[in-house]
Chain A
Amino acid sequence: MKDARIDRRLFLRGIGGVAAGVAAATALGACGTGTSRVSSSGGGGKTVVVRDSGGSYGAALQKAIYTPFTQETGISVKVLNLDNAPLLAQIKQGRPQCDLINDSMMSHAKYAGQDALEKLDRDRITSLKSAKIPDNQITDHAIGHSFYGQCIAYRTDAFGGRKPESWADFWDTKAFQGGRAMCSPDGDLPELEFALLADGVPMDKLYPLDVDRAFKVLTRLRSEIKKFWDSGPLPGVLLSRQEVTMSTVWDGRIADLQKQGVPVARQLNGIRRQFSGYAIAKDAANVDAAYQLMDFSLRAEVQANLAKAFPSNPSSPVAYEKLTEDERNALAGAPQYYDKGFDTDIDWWLKNEAAVTQRWLEWARG
């Protein structure tokens, strides 16, 4: 078993050609993982099944990654939109429907904790080096491919030409009047970090979060929060309907509104970054094809192509060099913005999410 693995690696490395890679994958697929289903045994075209979250993001992935991948390798890509819980249940049964999982790094950490992911062989992912993926986005079981950010969105016509500069301004309902919207735990992690930043905690001293202090600060704003949003488009709708003057938002979700001429803007100061990544399901049927698709997706130029189709921020610094200046400026991940925000500490949240969510509900119901 061990020998077969090394042979395969050498083989892939030595020949490298795509056609040879496919042949090798087919030939060695059978001895790769004894317990997996061998879906490629039919002899027809190889396939790989990838899990993503669908929607407009899924459409962008199809256009920027899956279709070019099939063109290059001949491996057809099937997409699966599945929630974490059923996916985990499938993996535990030993028959995952998908091979490659595109999900948040926090979900991957949960999967890994449940022993649901293959341990990754970094030598098989050559684009790690070529795309200069940062070390902190490479874990034993998952590789970060991009991040999304949560930041301030506001109506530019609401504050007499002034614009909010920080989370303290978000909390300052005297200077910046009008209703607020924040995220509910149905949408994303509770926004404790923003409360602490508003209260003067420096960005590099956030974690471990002072939960008591955060909720105390949140309470100051509670009566102004008109809606806790739980889906990506809602902040944009609330802002454009003038239900609120300021909201937290997933960065990129108001770009379309701006194009339509709605007077909204984003403030990237204090943006919370959360990474998404790729991992391979334990006992996946098409491990080799999954590695190939992962490797393809992580290439700098492919990450750049995805960023053109969807406001996701590549993890590869090289990808930003492949974008035009305008495209780069639209992304929160561009080098000039990077110091404005902070990375979510997923280890802290993994330990505390359940308790904080419960407490959030108690707080919000007050």
Chain B
Amino acid sequence: MTATARKAAIEAAGRPAKSGKVVPLGRAPASGFDAGRTAASLARNVIPPVIVLLVLLAVWQVSCSGPGASLPPPSQIWTDSYDLIAYPFFEYGSQDIGLAWRVLISLERVGIGFGLAAVVGVAIGALIGQSVWAMRGLDPIFQILRTVPPLAWLPLSLAAFQDSNPSAIFVIFITSIWPVIINTAVGVRNIPEDYRNVARVLRLNQLEFFLRIMLPAAAPYIFTGLRIGVGLSWLAIVAAEMLTGGVGIGFFIWDAWNSSRLSDIIVALVYIGVTGFVLDKLVALLGRVVARTSAAA
């Protein structure tokens, strides 16, 4: 990530914190017409995407309804994959399960891989941010490693772990850790000297400094890294599962392609998109909750 992009991302992460702070002040007087305002904002935010979606579906329907169309139109997807759409949680056998189950299995892998990346990334980032020399030495290496595409790690990790599940988890880990490390390091480096002096006068030990000063002070940066990281891990898991097999959503797409079930693939894509969106919003929300308490005064 370039410096400007990083700055923009940090600003984006910081901005909601301010608006979050304003809410409690305006709460009391606004209660009278709150319902009307909520409805209005709902209409503003929901109606346009719904209209656009309907138009796109209509265009798709028309363009894929011809006799020579290579992709199925929405109506055909509805009839072909009705089971997948209507019953996300069915279970007919170990390999024949609803898409929600598959998403959950993929999410579990992401949870482990990304969780490890978050913990290790923050720890390494904190160490690097504390030392100018570690930063100078390691930053260029990280900048190179983070551009390696997720799947390029897969053969190596298969060779190392000899098993598909840990390999997939490792790919998630190695993909999502770089933005966490880099952003944490930048955040730690930007801790104001005053806070460090306060810690020194109080003689906080390393652990106390980490918990009481470093984490809260660098939280906005850390969450920017986590948000980028979670997006990358979701990208990586789908690709990794296509190759490693198993029962995740990625393998489902590959399997559907091999049996020419194009409608199923499209339904799975919608699942993946929605899940990725929700993941991103979840981390952003978490970051906002944390940032509200740690936003610089």
A and B interact = no
